[in-house]
């Protein structure tokens, strides 16, 4: 039997701090339910954010090319692993809140599964992609130059996940010029629309949800609000 996963798909950009708070609340509720001998459904949040930078909990400020005091730039240090990255409109963000007790208690396995979701989705759009040994994320060979199309960064506490991955679809990539993406010198980034003309953001979102369900053996249940009592 497939495990239930509640799917929330934002139809408008969600401020980063709002989404971050949602995640923390969802994780906290699942920890509390476990203490009470209950089990809440998994959740997958799919959304976009207005332009923002995030730093992993141990990431270095040397990879920033801007002043943290600049009021025009939003930047937050968060719990996930990894270095600095950039989010903006046109990039699809996926935040899975999974109880790995019901999947596999293995962080490396989980990271590879997230990458596999992205790789399979890109394949559905006719775009071959790959992993790079020793690095997280998904990469594309663009005319002999390897470029990063998706970033992966997670936090797992008591085997409950938060944060996730970001897939560049048709975003303004110039925001990456203000950082050393993921702390990788000379790291080049790319968008899906460079390989698929007129790519439809909504269609990519549908493909992510479907492939995620298949990869993690989940039954998706659509929700329109995060205030649903069953959350």
Has 190 been annotated as catalytic? no
Please choose, from the candidates 159, 164, 6, the residue with its C-alpha nearest in 3D space to the C-alpha of residue 78: 164
d(Cα 94, Cα 170) in Å, to the nearest integer? 16
Largest interatomic CA distance in the chain: 55
Tell which residue, 147, 44, 180, 169, has the closest CA to residue 99: 44
Whole-angstrom distance, CA of residue 104 vs CA of residue 107: 8
Give residue-wise pLDDT tens across range 7-53: 999 889 999 999 999 999 999 999 999 999 999 999 999 999 999 99
**pLDDT at residue 228 in the model:** 53
Tokens 């130059």 locate to: 145
**How far, in Å, CA of 82 to CA of 210, rounded?**
27
Domains along the chain? 3-223 (3.30.930.10)
pLDDT for the residue numbered 200? 97
pLDDT tens profile 203-226: 999 999 999 999 999 999 999 887
| Phi-psi domain of 13 (left: phi exceeds 0; alpha: psi -120 through 50; beta: other) | beta
The pLDDT of 53-61, averaged and rounded, is 94
Q: Name every residue whose Cβ is closer than 8 Å to that of residue 121 and which is 6 or more positions away in sequence.
A: 167, 204, 207, 208, 211
Q: Is 221 helix (H, G, I), strand (E, B) or coil?
A: strand
Q: Which of 5, 182, 187, 190 is catalytic?
A: 182
The Cα 206–Cα 28 span in angstroms is: 28
Query: Six-digit token pair at 89?
Result: 């409109």
């Amino acid at each position: 039997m497939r495990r239930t996963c509640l799917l929330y798909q934002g139809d408008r950009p969600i401020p980063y701090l709002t989404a971050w708070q949602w995640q923390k609340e969802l994780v906290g509720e699942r920890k509390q339910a476990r203490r009470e001998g209950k089990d809440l459904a998994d959740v997958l949040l799919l959304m976009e954010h207005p332009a923002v930078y995030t730093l992993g909990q141990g990431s270095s400020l040397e990879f920033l090319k801007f002043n943290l005091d600049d009021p025009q730039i939003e930047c937050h240090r968060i719990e996930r692993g990894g270095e600095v990255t950039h989010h903006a409109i046109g990039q699809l963000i996926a935040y899975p809140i999974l109880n790995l007790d019901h999947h596999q208690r293995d962080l490396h396995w989980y990271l590879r599964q997230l990458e596999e979701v992205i790789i399979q989705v890109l394949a559905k759009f006719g775009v071959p992609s790959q992993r790079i040994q020793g690095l997280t994320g998904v990469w594309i060979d663009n005319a002999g130059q390897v470029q990063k199309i998706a970033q992966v960064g997670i936090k797992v506490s008591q085997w409950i996940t938060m944060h996730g991955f970001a897939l560049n679809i048709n975003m303004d990539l110039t925001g990456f010029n203000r950082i050393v993406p993921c702390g990788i010198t000379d790291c080049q980034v790319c968008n899906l629309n460079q390989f698929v003309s007129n790519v439809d953001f909504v269609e990519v979102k549908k493909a992510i949800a479907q492939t995620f369900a298949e990869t993690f053996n989940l039954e998706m249940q659509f929700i329109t609000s995060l205030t649903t009592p069953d959350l």
